[in-house]
């Protein structure tokens, strides 16, 4: 079963101030949704929160950068050195480049085309939307009036998220990534509050909610083996297998794929599509190397049904 995941608005917003490495973590979510390893949940309240706070989050870092000036006053005695003019020339050029960069960034901010904008938009596009119904809102107002967690007093955003997750997600475990403590137990640091934990348990046949304070911690816990460059290499090999024009290419690709231990559900689905749809794979399915490769997935193809693997198990 795919891992159920909810990212709080503060996680999305944090990517406007994050490093390249953090954006890679966001790209991993996109990749694993496409590969059927993650179900990401969203709702209209979440999208509105991200939109509402986007400008403030960008401004926190951008305004300081925009107002930077590379002009500098030098002690009078520096005028005696020829290098001073060279420094002033370079600083003047730096100010010109800085001004051009500020203009480009401003344009991307207005067009919502920053790197973080594109990834966030991609995630919302891929996410499973949980509708905020009248029934949900009735329950939200009741829990807020009752003082039940999650959320701050006089704020209903977190209550909406939780009620949507509680009522509309699949049975099983949920991973919730958030930077604030609105879902957290006051006694057990980093763990969900007992009230919410019991509420989740009572509404499910099985499953638990796990909190993470960053996407990197989520990946360490759930997908420690995932590396984007490795995943893209596997994707390319799978594409070659699907499009293999001859037996020689099939054997070569199989030998390279055999080097990897883990494949995502999406990759496995495509690998078996190659077996079923490409006769340059299917016609040599009983060759030892090809058969050994496909048998690796005998315990990993529940989402495909029994047919594809059974044709090899002779």
The per-residue pLDDT for range 116-172, each reduced to its tens digit, is 899 899 999 999 999 999 999 999 999 999 999 998 877 899 999 999 999 999 888
Cβ neighbours of residue 218 under 8 Å, at least 6 residues apart? 5, 175, 177, 212
Least confident of 66-70, 157-161, 194-198, 307-311: 307-311
- Same domain? For 169 and 294 the reply is no
70, 90, 114: which is the final residue of a domain?
114
| Placement of tokens 């996410």 in the chain | 127
Task: Give a yes or no: residue 303 inside a domain.
Answer: yes
pLDDT reported for residue 244: 96
**Mean pLDDT of the 187-193 span:** 90
Report the length, in residues, of the chain: 314
> CA nearest 130: which of 221, 222, 220, 45?
45
Query: Residue 314 pLDDT more than 50?
Result: no
> pTM here?
0.83
pLDDT reported for residue 12: 93
Distance CA 186, CA 175 (A): 19
Three-class DSSP category at 104: helix
Angle made by CA atoms 163, 165, 169, in degrees to the nearest 5: 135
**What is the domain range of residue 25?**
3-46+121-222
Task: Give a yes or no: residue 57 inside a domain.
Answer: no
CB atoms within 10 A of CB 245: 10
Task: Give a yes or no: residue 177 inside a domain.
Answer: yes
Angle made by CA atoms 123, 125, 128, in degrees to the nearest 5: 90
Say which CATH number the domain at 126 has. Answer: 3.40.50
Distance CA 251, CA 237 (A): 12
């Amino acid at each position: 079963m795919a891992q159920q995941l909810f990212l709080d608005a503060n996680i999305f917003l944090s990517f406007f101030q994050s490093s390249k490495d953090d954006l890679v973590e966001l790209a991993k979510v996109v990749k694993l949704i496409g590969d059927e390893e993650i179900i990401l949940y969203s709702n209209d309240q979440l999208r509105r929160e991200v939109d509402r706070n986007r400008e403030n989050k960008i401004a926190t870092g951008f305004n300081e950068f925009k107002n930077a000036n590379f002009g500098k006053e030098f002690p009078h005695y520096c005028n005696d050195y020829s290098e001073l003019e060279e420094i002033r020339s370079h600083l003047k050029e730096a100010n010109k480049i800085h001004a051009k960069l500020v203009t480009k960034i401003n344009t991307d901010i207005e067009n919502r085309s920053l790197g973080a904008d594109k990834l966030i938009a991609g995630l919302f596009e891929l996410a499973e939307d949980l509708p905020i119904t009248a029934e949900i809102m009735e329950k939200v107002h009741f829990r807020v009036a009752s003082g039940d967690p999650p959320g701050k007093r006089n704020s209903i955003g977190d209550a909406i998220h939780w009620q949507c997750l509680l009522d509309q997600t699949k049975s099983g475990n949920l991973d919730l990534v958030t930077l604030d403590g609105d879902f957290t137990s006051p006694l057990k640091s980093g763990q969900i509050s007992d009230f919410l934990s019991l509420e989740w348990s009572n509404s499910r046949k099985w499953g638990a909610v796990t909190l993470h304070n960053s996407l990197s911690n989520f990946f360490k816990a759930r997908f420690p083996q995932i590396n984007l460059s490795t995943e893209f290499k596997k994707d390319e090999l799978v594409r070659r297998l699907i499009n293999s024009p001859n037996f020689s290419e099939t054997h070569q690709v199989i030998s390279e794929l055999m080097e990897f231990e883990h494949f995502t559900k999406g990759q496995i689905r495509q690998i078996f599509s190659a077996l079923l749809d490409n006769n340059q794979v299917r016609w040599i399915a009983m060759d030892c190397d090809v058969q050994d490769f496909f048998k690796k997935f005998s315990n990993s193809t529940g989402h495909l049904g029994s047919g594809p693997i059974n044709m090899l198990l002779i």
